[in-house]
A and B are shown apart, each in its own frame.
Chain A
Amino acid sequence: MDLNLLLTPVLSLSAIGLVFGGLLSFASTQFAVQEDPRIAEINAVLPGANCGGCGYPGCNNYATAVVGGDPVDKCTVGGPAVAAKVATIMGMGALTSKTRMIARVMCHGGTNCVNAFTYKGLDECVAANFVLGGPKACKEGCLGGGDCERACKFDAIHVNEDRVAVVDMDKCTGCEACVKACPKSIIDMVPAPQLVFVDCKNKEFGGHVRKNCVNACIACKRCEKACQFDAIHVINNVAVIDYDKCTNCMECAKVCPTKCIHVVGGLPVVEEAS
């Protein structure tokens, strides 16, 4: 057998490969673009979830933007820890730490809230919301379809057995994906250290609110009177806490007749015996 028959193709193909390989490696050094090394460094520090919480399509885009002069604390997933690292890379020193914000579903209705009609369709909040705003009698109530659960990349929000979505406060990174996914707009961003929340958004007044949902705010203003810090007010028939003023004294939660004001970890048991 003619050895050339074997050698020619192998050699010529290898030669071409070698030539092009050399050309490419030459080009990559010759035409190397001077990219700011900080972009790569910041990229390494960022969580890499590409969740878009910062307002950019991905972590790399945000890293580029930071080098271009964007604020260093936009990454909601990484929070203050990442912001501090990014600030160090940017030579800005330690930052005044920003309060970590997490999502909270402002509803505790679910099965406590009666249905105005029976909805038979896609088990999705968006779909259910198209039909007269969903089957719940309360038009501000959680539909329990789990749109937020599917939107969450961090396994931090789940629809519980009461058919209400609940945020896992430890896992929540504050990326706001669920806030955007909720067709009812009942997921709010709240400061993580906050312990007392009014878990109701309904803006209706009077007795039929109570008939619709046993956990609804009826705008009785007892919390407003109980608060010594001017931190809770009934606005549009629903109590709203000013988180800047709130001291987590829980007085409002104690007087709330419908128990729509919730305390993280439950209201401490008052020792009346002593």
Chain B
Amino acid sequence: MENASVLTIIISAILVNNFVLSRFLGICSFIGISQKVETALGLGLADIFVMAMAGVFAYFAEVYILQYFNIEYLRVVMYILIIASLVQFVEIVLKKVLPSLYQALGIFLPLITTNCAVLGVALLNVQYNFNLIQSVVHSVAAAVGFTLAIVIFAFIREKMESNDIPEPFKGFPIALITASLLSFAFLGFQGMI
């Protein structure tokens, strides 16, 4: 993956190795915040923003601190620190600069702190030995993939509201079954690249 082109990375992150449906990262928010398309989209947009930022910062932390001092074993701790602070920072700034967007994102911003997709993308960037540009592209594409998955899922769940679902399957059971079917569908992209 080291010399992968930008296009390859984008297609790979969005479709083939979709973060939610193939890598199973960020499942909690995928299941938790997908009852409505509107909120799902809100979370997705917030995620794109945070993951892009996290990709950049994690890259610099990786190159100039972890590798420089030979303390790669602190990677996860370091990344969590960075992501948590970053989200806090973004929240404070958004509240001041773009109150409307802050209102729209609401509770999702703090929630993203604990979204494993964010940590996952930072760790994967290292695993693939991506350079800065590749890291950013991969981060954004992964977040777009996450958004795509959660929005599709939210659409289906909104449709299911009006369906006649057997009593024991109502709520989360049918949501999990739907998620697995959606995952199957995305399995079709496997082998594209």
Contact = CB atoms under 8 A, between A and B. Distances in A.
A119 interface: no
B71 A31 contact: no
B92 A24 contact: yes
A148 to B, nearest CB: 26
Contacts, number: 44
B89 interface: yes
A273 interface: no
B93 interface: yes
A33 B96 contact: yes
User: Which of A8, A12, A28 neighbours the largest number of chain B CB atoms within 10 Å of its CB?
Assistant: A12
Nearest to A20: B85
Contacts of B78: 13, 16
B65 interface: yes
A16 B93 contact: no
A236 to B, nearest CB: 38
Contacts of A31: 92-93, 95-97
Nearest to A28: B92
Category for how many chain A residues contact B = 10 to 19
Interface in B77-93: 77-78, 81-82, 85, 88-89, 92-93
A12 B92 contact: no
B89 A27 contact: yes
Given A24-B88, A24-B92, A31-B92, A16 B71 contact: no
A32 B96 contact: yes
Contacts of A17: 81
A109 to B, nearest CB: 33
Contacts of A27: 89, 92-93
A8 B69 contact: yes
A28 B71 CA distance: 31
B71 A12 contact: yes
A13 B81 contact: yes
Given A23-B89, A24-B85, A24-B88, A16 B61 contact: yes
Interface string A53-86: 0000000000000000000000000000000000
Given A9-B71, A13-B77, A31-B93, 19 more contacts: A8-B70, A12-B65, A13-B74, A16-B61, A17-B81, A23-B85, A23-B89, A24-B85, A24-B88, A24-B89, A24-B92, A27-B89, A27-B93, A28-B92, A31-B92, A31-B95, A31-B97, A32-B96, A33-B95
Query: Which 3 pairs show the lowest CB-CB distances between chains A and B?
Result: A20-B85, A31-B96, A27-B92
